[in-house]
Chains A and B, each alone.
Chain A
């Protein structure tokens, strides 16, 4: 079955970077885009960008341009999201998701809590 399994919780200091992974299984890895979204505590969802795992092409939301990098390793069917220059308001649960059946986010990872604190 389709699974997106993310890496575990992280704690970082302001100014540091974090890299979150998302391992995909149960479908053709290079056939579908991957998306990253985040949710600050008690807040709504925020879309960060997409990655085409076939070509490696990316598109980032304007808010995150210059600070986020999305990459993939096709040999292990894993995508990554790295966020630099962390601030306290980057504290959030980060999700990877994909659109396998419909034009919406129909499969999600379990989420990774990133805490930014001095």
Chain B
């Protein structure tokens, strides 16, 4: 059982805006910043968002992150077929001495 809870699946049509949630607690999201990763099957995860809402160089501005209290969200606007992938949230947790924890992942399907 992950310490961060994500919906197992999400879907949208091309051009739509979708949001993926990540729910935690005061010992993790409530204390630390959140990162988001995108993983296409058979490949390594790719960093999409760091420090709650910062996009690394090269990540399209269609991707945005936010955090409020003990929850975080990833929003994808102008959905494209290439966005079909699994998305993971991650942060650290005080109950694990600051070690990293991940959500179970959300499979995004572009219909």
Contact = CB atoms under 8 A, between A and B. Distances in A.
Interface of A: 35, 43-47, 61-62, 95, 101-106, 108-111
A61 B105 contact: no
B56 interface: yes
A111 B2 CA distance: 22
Given A46-B102, A47-B99, A103 B51 contact: yes
B88 A61 contact: no
B51 A102 contact: yes
Given A44-B105, A104-B50, A61 B99 contact: yes
Contacts of B103: 44
A95 B44 contact: yes
Main secondary structure of the interface of A (DSSP, over half): loop
B47 interface: yes
A110 B42 CA distance: 9
Given A46-B102, A47-B101, A61-B96, A105 B45 contact: yes
Q: Which 8 pairs of residues, A with B, have the shortest CB-CB distance?
A: A104-B35, A108-B44, A47-B100, A104-B50, A102-B50, A45-B102, A44-B104, A106-B47
Given A44-B88, A45-B88, A102 B99 contact: no
Contacts of A47: 99-102
Contact of B56 (A35, A61, A102): A102
A33 to B, nearest CB: 12
Given A101-B56, A106-B56, A108-B44, A45 B51 contact: no
Given A44-B88, A45-B90, A61-B99, A104 B44 contact: no
Contacts of A104: 35, 47, 50-51, 90
A109 B100 CA distance: 18
30 contacts: A44-B2, A44-B103, A44-B104, A44-B105, A45-B37, A45-B90, A46-B102, A47-B100, A61-B99, A62-B97, A62-B99, A95-B44, A95-B45, A102-B50, A102-B51, A102-B54, A102-B56, A104-B35, A104-B47, A104-B51, A104-B90, A105-B35, A105-B47, A106-B47, A106-B50, A106-B56, A108-B44, A108-B45, A110-B43, A110-B44
B45 A45 contact: yes
